[in-house]
Structure 1
Amino acid sequence: METEKDKHPPEKSSSFVSRDPIQENHEPGPDPKTNLDPDQDRHQNHDIENSTRSEPPTEPETETEPNPEATEEEEENKEEEEETDATNAEESHPPTNFNEVCEEIDRFISVLSRAKESKYAPSINRVGGILQRAMSYLEDELRSLLNDSKTELASSEESNSTGENSCPGYSEEVVLNLNKLATGMINGGYETECFHAYIIARRSILEATLHKLGFEKFSIYDIQKMQWEPLEREIVAWNKMFKQCVNVLFTGEKKLSAAVFSGNSSVADCIFGSLSRSIAVELLNFAEAVAMSKRSSEKLFKFLDVYETLRDVILAMDDLFPEEIENEVKSEASITRTRLGEAMTCIFCELKNSVKADMGKTIVPGGAVHPLTRYILNYLKSASKFKETLEQINKVMDLLGTNLETRSKLYKDTSLSLIFMMNNGRYILQKIRGSGEINELMGDTWLRKRSSDLRQYHKNYQRETWGRLLSCLSHEGLIVHGKVLKPELKEKFKSFNAMFDEIHKMQSVWVVSDKQLQSELRVSISSVVIPAYRSFLARFSQNFTTGRQTEKYIKYQPEDIETSIDELFDGNATPTGRKKP
């Protein structure tokens, strides 16, 4: 029965290579191009078969030697019968869907492989035309099935981040049909067209998925001209996407290729390799462009993110791609990592230069930790994950130490400059001890030296500030011939009160943010000042008349001194002269 598709055969895809039937030097049959009616073709085949299948003359049965020509004629008759059977089968059971078309194609190929082309060239030409139209139909069906699942795939990739679905976006039935279509085209000799249609459709789907996940194609020129803020957002999206490609998209794509081309694993690997390579190269091109972008210290952390992503995906690529593609992609990723490493090393050099040049005249109020110290230590802690930058950290730390010493001299008050060095020194030690990589790099010797410097700053501060106060409590010049000189005693108390008030007023607004260091300072001050003041007070307080004179010169009790010391280094101005109730 003539079907609608026979009347209007699918238009030949531009991806097909023209396949002209074989022509022999014999009288040509009807031109298949001028008559595409399958029923008429079949009647003509039948006429040819009847005209060629005439009965030979009968002879008496005698035992004779086999005639080679007769044997050859019998074989030809057998082939004609097989071709007639195939044609009759087509007439009685016309294909109704693409699965039956695939089966019919196999039967055509089987007949053609046994036919004598010189004798049946017209039939072969007509069958070739039918085969070409069938292949065009299969290609259209293959492309349609692949593209129909495009939207489904995009949503599947987002919702199924674990990659549990073996062929994301396609049901088992669709995958089975894709397999039959691909098998039919390959068996029909149209493997090139099949592979081409599959790769184009799947690449389009993968690129659409990447776009939906936030990846945009940029040229190296675009990235180099891009402002840092939008580039930073693109890097964040790239990091997420590259990991998802390797862990989800590529894994699903590999399973899909293996299912569609299950009859030939080498073909499946080749197609998957071609698809995954093109996507991987696009992603690696972005990383390479980032490495080539203008360098600045603010970019280091994002460069590190890209570096770590490349390191992770290289490990995840094991046994994912065909060996040749895997080696190529890994090589490209390693080259990009190297370029990122060179860029980060240059950023460190620029960082060293900026630390060396940053000798501003602005001081930090209260001797607190300088912003440069915080910035450099946080910077180095993040950078320590990258082994190529570790060798630069030592140099940066030395430059930072020199920078801080220079800045400490900007303070007019020596005690405050020592507080500044203690604050920054303690902060540096804590940060380095909290980073295993930097701690190991700097070594125990460096850490002991820094700890020793901190203790020396502490001693110098105590001597500079509280040593002068304790000189007010010395007995020198107070006793002459066993008698206390009252005017000298009054001056001693007045000097002590005035100096302590001044120290309290100034140093209560100084800042020691590290609670342990703050407590150590207060304890050490109290351990020196309070015992000395209590002893001085016990020995000389009875020389004043109880009442107004005592209150005038003995302004503080030991408990008041302790309370005032506990108010130091809070960063807040506190009234002095308060007494404990």
Structure 2
Amino acid sequence: MGMDHEEEERRMASLLAARRALRAGVDKSRALSHALAREGSRLEEIQMRLPVMEAAVRPIRAPRKALAAAGPNIDRAVGPAAAVLKVFDAVHGLEPSLLVRAGVSEDLPGYLAVLAQLEEALHFLSDNCGVASQWLADIVAYLGERKLADPRFVSDLAEALEHLKNSSADLDGGLLTAALDMLEAEFRRLLAEHSSPLAMKEPGDSNPASVAPSRIPVAVVHKLSLILDRLAANGRLDHCSTAYADARGDTVSASLRALGLDYLKDSTEDAQALSPSVELFGRHLVFAVHHLLEAERKLCVAVFERRPEAASLCFAEIAARAGILDFLKFGRAVADARKDPIKLLRLLDVFDSLNKLRPDFNRLFGGKACVEIQSRTRELVKRVVDGAVEIFEELLVQVELQRDMPPPVDGGVPRLVSFVAKYCNQLLGEQYRSVLTQVITIHRSWRKEVFDDNMLVDAVLNIVKTLEVNFDTWSKAYEDVTLSYLFMMNIHWHFFKHLKGTKLGELLGDAWLREHEQYKDYYSAVFLRESWGTLAPLLSREGLILFSKGRATARDLVKQRFKSFNTNFDELYQKQSTWVISDRDLQQKTCHLVVQAIVPVYRSFMQNYGPLVEQDVSASKYVKYSAEDLDKMLNTLFLLKSGKPRRAGSFQIRHSNDKITSEMTGLYRSASTLK
């Protein structure tokens, strides 16, 4: 009995030792459970199951040796878990600093430092929590395989550990997500606070020079860059890019709208009506590129400092939202306008604006992100070049077509002449000559042909000389030969006066200009001789001296000559009162010559022979005009009546099928409207 009693005591002692070892392991597991419970709802579930596990292991009936061997294994599994719990405690300690919104705006570097600690802790947990969970799972499996604990307890504990391993991505309980949300909100706040549209200096002022571009302070740019780095490192680069493009794109767009860009959506097909808008287009496009988009590009590079590809994508979105494509659409509208000579000038304006900005376009929009802008720009340039060359090559044909059109019925200068003279002078002037040469050179290069400035000069001079050929044809169309003289006097003087001292006149040469001046003098002399020059001989004194002693006979001759003069004067005056001399100086000079050819002779005749008929009861029938009356009447001849319609011929354009399909109505407008 004594032996049995001692044996029983030894067995009880071993059982108690095993129980103490298991109790120690359970205590450590309970500590782990409590620590994990603080970090989330999933861990709370595990904590709730620990008492069940504790109760389940109490009635352990395993052999003492097996229980003794389990103790060290449990200790090794609990050690890593305890280290993980310490990190969980550290993560929990970061919550107050990361969830205070003021910390982001007031001390961004400090906030980012705390966030870095959280990221480091989560990185540690990500690397080690699974290992610790696996160690615990191994010991649970060990207990289950050796039947050292209640199977239900082992099963529940294994399930809880498996759940813990699968939930490692949310080990911080959403703390990192909350902190990143606050950073993103601060990113948007800083952009909104420093992204106000530019203000015009004066209401309604559309001059870009009056606008001072805003700048985001360097300190703010640095903050934005720091925030973007952290957000991008946590997979939120797209969020940042969208927010940035929204804020800056809207800012640039609003700044441009303040300049008044409604004209960019003008749908008219009239190139003349588009002329003021084309001038604004050039100035505003330069301003948009140099002062707005250039600054935005630099800002993108600074904010997305270590992410150049993201910077390019973001800038492309900003440029699109700012309306750069609207500028290109307007250029396309000009290219699609009805063809007329004015359209050529507007196309050259558009090309010049784009060409001056070509290096800037290549630099700003050269990346893959701006492929649509590149494509639209290339397409626009091609349409502008093709359209300009097509109109230019048609000009000579259009001048030739006018040869068969009737000249102005009043003998004035056809608007075609005024238009072509001024138009060709513009093409060879400082503003358009080099641009047109470049456009045609580009177009010819596409066809593997050569073109240079000399060829342009020759082509323009050929248009002018072709127009000269029309003069004789037009003059022969008049039934009244005297009117044809007036017409030729008008047209040659117009060429001389309006081309002398111009670039076109210089290229045509002094001899060419003097020739037109001489033609003017010639036709002026012929006109006077064949019309007003025929009146003075009607007041001849011939025969009146022979009858000086026969008063009645002399009176009859004087009456006859007054009557003949009046009849011819009235006929000439009535007919020529509808004729015009387009140039005011030439009109006054011609009227002066007419007066000098008639009035002195008439005054002398009146003084010498007027008394013979003035005492006659029918004197007013013969002495119809005084010398002063004639002077006044003749000085008002050939004046261009206001509002009087002018014949200019229909300047038409041929399309590729050689059929004349549309009038080039721009020709009918006054040449003074050209810009």
Q: Distance in 1 between matches of 2:600 and 2:77?
A: 130
Which residue of 2 is the match for residue 447 of structure 1? 513
Which residue of 1 is the match for residue 391 of structure 2? 347
Q: Distance in 2 between matches of 1:343 and 1:245?
A: 26
Aligned AA for 2:79?
A: S
Segments of structure 1 that go 5 or more residues without pairing to the other structure are 1-28, 55-76, 573-581
CA contact (8 A) 1:303 1:344 kept: yes
Which residue of 2 is the match for residue 408 of structure 1? 475
Residue 137 (1) aligns with residue 195 (2): no
**How much does 1:90 deviate?**
0.9
Which residue of 1 is the match for residue 632 of structure 2? 563
Structure 1 residues 522-574: Cα deviation after superposition (integer angstroms, max 9, x where no partner): 22223333445556667x639957733995766666545433322322468xx
CA contact (8 A) 2:490 2:583 kept: yes
Alignment of 1:8-407 (within 5 A): 37=40, 51-52=79-80, 87=91, 89-91=93-95, 93-97=97-101, 98=104, 99=108, 102-109=112-119, 119=128, 133=177, 137=181, 140-141=184-185, 144-145=188-189, 152-153=196-197, 162-167=210-215, 178-186=224-232, 188=234, 191=237, 194-195=240-241, 198-199=244-245, 202-203=248-249, 214=261, 228=269, 241-254=284-297, 256-257=299-300, 260-261=303-304, 270=312, 273-275=315-317, 278=320, 282-283=325-326, 285-286=328-329, 289-290=332-333, 293=336, 295-297=338-340, 299-311=343-355, 313-314=357-358, 317=360, 321=364, 336-337=380-381, 339-358=383-402, 364-377=408-421, 379-380=423-424, 385-387=431-433, 388=436, 391=457, 392-407=459-474
Residue 541 (1) aligns with residue 609 (2): yes
Which residue of 2 is the match for residue 470 of structure 1? 536
CA contact (8 A) 1:367 1:416 kept: yes
CA contact (8 A) 1:257 1:272 kept: yes
What SS class does the counterpart of residue 503 from structure 1 fall into? helix
CA contact (8 A) 1:82 1:111 kept: no
Distance 1:427 1:110, change over 3 A: farther
CA contact (8 A) 2:410 2:579 kept: yes
What SS class does the counterpart of residue 228 from structure 1 fall into? coil
CA contact (8 A) 1:284 1:336 kept: no
Aligned AA for 1:37?
A: G
When Rg is computed on C-alpha atoms for both structures, the one with the higher figure is 2
Segments of structure 2 that go 5 or more residues without pairing to the other structure are 1-31, 48-74, 133-167, 438-455, 642-675
**How much does 1:290 deviate?**
3.8
**How much does 1:321 deviate?**
3.8
Q: Distance in 1 between matches of 2:242 and 2:636?
A: 80
Aligned AA for 2:117?
A: R
CA contact (8 A) 1:258 1:269 kept: yes
Aligned AA for 2:591?
A: R
CA contact (8 A) 1:287 1:306 kept: no
What SS class does the counterpart of residue 367 from structure 1 fall into? coil
Q: Distance in 2 between matches of 1:158 and 1:201?
A: 25
% identical aligned pairs: 23
**How much does 1:520 deviate?**
0.7
CA contact (8 A) 1:525 1:565 kept: yes
**How much does 1:521 deviate?**
0.6
Q: Distance in 1 between matches of 2:481 and 2:288?
A: 60
Aligned AA for 1:286?
A: K
Out of 419-428 and 453-462, give the one that drifted further: 419-428
Q: Distance in 1 between matches of 2:128 and 2:115?
A: 21
Aligned AA for 2:244?
A: Y
Q: Distance in 2 between matches of 1:264 and 1:474?
A: 104
Q: Distance in 1 between matches of 2:307 and 2:426?
A: 45
CA contact (8 A) 1:432 1:439 kept: yes
Aligned AA for 1:103?
A: A
Aligned AA for 2:231?
A: M
Alignment of 1:492-511 (within 5 A): 492-511=561-580
**How much does 1:283 deviate?**
4.5
Q: Distance in 1 between matches of 2:499 and 2:87?
A: 86
Which residue of 1 is the match for residue 591 of structure 2? 522
What SS class does the counterpart of residue 296 from structure 1 fall into? coil
How many aligned residue pairs are there? 501
Aligned AA for 2:214?
A: S
